[in-house]
Structure 1
Amino acid sequence: MLRYPGFIAAALLAAGTLPALAAPPPDLAVVRVPDASTTFSSAVAVRAPRDGSNRLFVVQRNGTIRVIKNGTLLPTPFLTVPTSVGSESGLLGLAFHPNFGKANLAHNTEFYVFYTRPSADPQLGNYEDEAIARFTVPTPTSDVATATGTIIMRLPDLQDNHNGGDIHFGSDGYLYISSGDSGAQGNPHGFAECLWKKPADSNKNSCGTNPNGAQYFLLGKMLRIDVDNRGGTVSADMCGSSGISPAEYSIPASNPHVATSNTCDEIWSRGFRNPWRFSFDRADDRMIIGDVGQGNYEEITVSAAGAGGLDHGWSRCEGRHYDDVSGSGTTCPATTGTVAPVIEYDHTSRCAVSGGYVFRGPVRRMQGTYFYGDSCSSNLWWSESSGATWDAGGENVITTLGSGSIYGFGEDEAGYIYIVRSNGQIHRLVSEFIFADGLQP
Structure 2
Amino acid sequence: MHVKRFVAALALVLGSPFALAQTIPGLSVVAVPGSYSEPVAVRAPHDGSGRLFIVQKGGTIRVVKNGALLPTPFLTVAVTTSSESGLLGLAFHPNFGQIGLPHNDEFYISYTRPGADPRLGTTPDQVIARYTVPSLGSDVANASGTIVLRTPDLAGNHNGGDIHFGPDGYLYSSMGDGGPQNNPHGFAGCLWKKPADFDQGTCGTNPTGTQYFLLGKILRIDVDNRGGAVTADMCGSSGISPAQYSIPADNPHVGTSNTCDEIFLYGFRNPWRFSFDRETHDLVIGDVGQNTYEEVTVQAAGVIGGNHGWSRCEGRHYFDESGTGTTCPAVTGTIAPVLEYSHSFGCAVTGGYVFRGPSARLRGTYFYGDSCASALWYASAGAAQTDWSPSGIQDTTLNVGAPYGYGEDEYGNLYIAQSNGTVYKIVSDFIFDDGFED
> Per the shorter chain, which TM-score range?
over 0.9
User: Which deviates further from its counterpart, 174-183 or 197-206?
Assistant: 197-206
Q: Residues 339-374 of structure 1, C-alpha deviation per residue, up to 9 Å, x if partnerless? A: 000000011141100010000001001000000011
Match of 2:387 among 382, 386, 389: 389
Match of 1:172 among 168, 171, 174: 168
Match of 2:203 among 183, 204, 207: 207
Does 2:32 match 1:33?
Answer: yes
Query: What is the DSSP-based 3-state SS (H/G/I as helix, E as strand, rest coil) of the residue aligned with 1:134?
Result: strand
- TM-score, normalised to structure 2, is 0.93
Q: Distance in 1 between matches of 2:363 and 2:323?
A: 39
Q: Distance in 1 between matches of 2:261 and 2:357?
A: 35
Q: Distance in 2 between matches of 1:235 and 1:374?
A: 40
Q: Distance in 2 between matches of 1:39 and 1:362?
A: 26
Flag structure 2 segments of 5+ consecutive residues without an equivalent. 1-21
Give the C-alpha shift of residue 330 in structure 1.
Answer: 4.8
Q: Residues 196-219 of structure 1, C-alpha deviation per residue, up to 9 Å, x if partnerless? A: 011111111221243331111100
User: Which deviates further from its counterpart, 253-262 or 345-354?
Assistant: 345-354
CA separation of 1:88/1:330 partners in 2, compared to 1, >3 Å: closer, same or farther?
Answer: closer
2:400–2:424 contact (8 Å) kept in structure 1: no
Query: What is the DSSP-based 3-state SS (H/G/I as helix, E as strand, rest coil) of the residue aligned with 1:239?
Result: coil
Q: Distance in 2 between matches of 1:363 and 1:226?
A: 34
Does 2:91 match 1:95?
Answer: yes
Does 2:191 match 1:195?
Answer: yes
The residue number in structure 1 matching 2:223 is 227
Give the C-alpha shift of residue 402 in structure 1.
Answer: 2.1
The residue number in structure 2 matching 1:321 is 317
Does 2:339 match 1:340?
Answer: no
Q: Residues 103-146 of structure 1, C-alpha deviation per residue, up to 9 Å, x if partnerless? A: 00000000000000000000000110000000000012000000
Query: What is the DSSP-based 3-state SS (H/G/I as helix, E as strand, rest coil) of the residue aligned with 1:241?
Result: coil
Give the C-alpha shift of residue 377 in structure 1.
Answer: 1.8
Q: Residues 378-408 of structure 1, C-alpha deviation per residue, up to 9 Å, x if partnerless? A: 2111000012111012211122x22421111
The residue number in structure 2 matching 1:112 is 108
The residue number in structure 2 matching 1:84 is 80
Give the C-alpha shift of residue 438 in structure 1.
Answer: 7.8
Does 2:293 match 1:297?
Answer: yes
The residue number in structure 2 matching 1:241 is 237
Equivalent position amino acid for 1:404 in 2 = G
Instruction: Calculate percent identity across the aligned residue pairs.
Output: 67
Match of 1:419 among 413, 416, 419: 416
The residue number in structure 2 matching 1:259 is 255
2:317–2:324 contact (8 Å) kept in structure 1: no
1:25–1:433 contact (8 Å) kept in structure 2: no
1:364–1:438 contact (8 Å) kept in structure 2: no
Q: Distance in 1 between matches of 2:110 and 2:83?
A: 16
Query: What is the DSSP-based 3-state SS (H/G/I as helix, E as strand, rest coil) of the residue aligned with 1:205?
Result: coil
Match of 1:374 among 366, 370, 373: 370
Match of 1:331 among 311, 327, 349: 327
Q: Distance in 2 between matches of 1:226 and 1:306?
A: 17
1:193–1:314 contact (8 Å) kept in structure 2: yes
Query: What is the DSSP-based 3-state SS (H/G/I as helix, E as strand, rest coil) of the residue aligned with 2:236?
Result: helix
The residue number in structure 1 matching 2:402 is 405
Count of residue correspondences? 415
Q: Distance in 2 between matches of 1:125 and 1:403?
A: 37
Q: Residues 243-275 of structure 1, C-alpha deviation per residue, up to 9 Å, x if partnerless? A: 000000000000000010000000000000000
- TM-score, normalised to structure 1, is 0.92
The residue number in structure 2 matching 1:57 is 53
